[in-house]
């Protein structure tokens, strides 16, 4: 009985020390993690909105939540370069977050996968950079594509599916097509409403 009490006390003590250590480590690394995430997002925004500097990309918020980003051509902010929005899709094994840059006419400038945990060697190839290339080959296919023509090859489209990862390919492509179409329609409707006033 004394051994059970002693082991219970030791186990409780170890658990308290471990929890305290994890809490302390989390506290001191949290700001660094947030800072790195913001830097990664800023770099990704400049990648999907080529021609806009980081200070010329403005988040559009509603009730404290970022809806999308507007990228301007320069600091005068007289001409819009394009828009960037985050698209989420349910892949084969994870929720995939993709940043999509589109111009004002509905042509994709570029896309960038922000997060995925798809099957290694299959769905994860959506981020694969082939020898001699600068950006992932699969994501490069979206460049200069009109949002109305987005579909994977297995659905009659021009986006080549990743071998063995049709679900991942289709999930990303369909979610980009659906969200960007709604976004552009909303933007065009807002412009028409302003003209009518």
pLDDT at 22: 77
Give pTM, 2 decimals: 0.80
87 C-beta neighbours (distance < 10 Å), count = 20
pLDDT mean over 135-155: 93
How many Å apart are CA 108 and CA 87, to the nearest integer? 13
Residue 190 tokens, joined = 């807002």
More confident residue, 74 or 162: 162
For the stretch 44-61, pLDDT in tens is: 999 999 989 889 999 999
| Angle (CA) 53 59 63, round 5° | 170
pLDDT digits (tens, 9 = 90+) for 96-144: 999 999 998 889 999 999 999 999 999 999 999 988 888 899 999 999 9
Give, in order, the Cα–Cα distances in Å from 85 to each of 22, 44, 76, 111, 191: 34, 11, 22, 10, 19
């Amino acid at each position: 009985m004394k051994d059970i009490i002693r082991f219970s006390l030791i186990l409780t003590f170890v658990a308290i020390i471990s929890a305290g250590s994890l809490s302390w480590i989390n506290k001191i690394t949290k700001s660094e993690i947030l800072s790195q995430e913001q830097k990664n997002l800023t770099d990704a925004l400049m990648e999907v909105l080529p021609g806009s500097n980081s200070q010329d990309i403005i988040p559009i918020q509603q009730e404290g939540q970022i809806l999308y980003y507007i990228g301007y051509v320069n600091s005068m902010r007289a001409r819009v370069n394009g828009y960037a929005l985050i698209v989420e899709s349910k892949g084969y094994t994870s929720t995939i977050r993709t940043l999509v840059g589109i111009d004002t006419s509905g042509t994709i400038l570029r896309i960038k996968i922000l997060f995925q945990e798809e099957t290694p060697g299959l769905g994860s190839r959506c981020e694969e950079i082939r020898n001699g290339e600068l950006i992932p080959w699969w994501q490069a296919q979206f460049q200069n594509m009109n949002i109305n023509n987005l579909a994977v090859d297995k659905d009659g489209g021009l986006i080549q599916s990743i071998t063995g990862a049709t679900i991942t390919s289709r999930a990303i492509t369909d979610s980009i097509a659906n969200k960007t179409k709604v976004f552009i329609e909303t933007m065009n409707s807002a412009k028409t409403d302003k003209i009518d006033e």
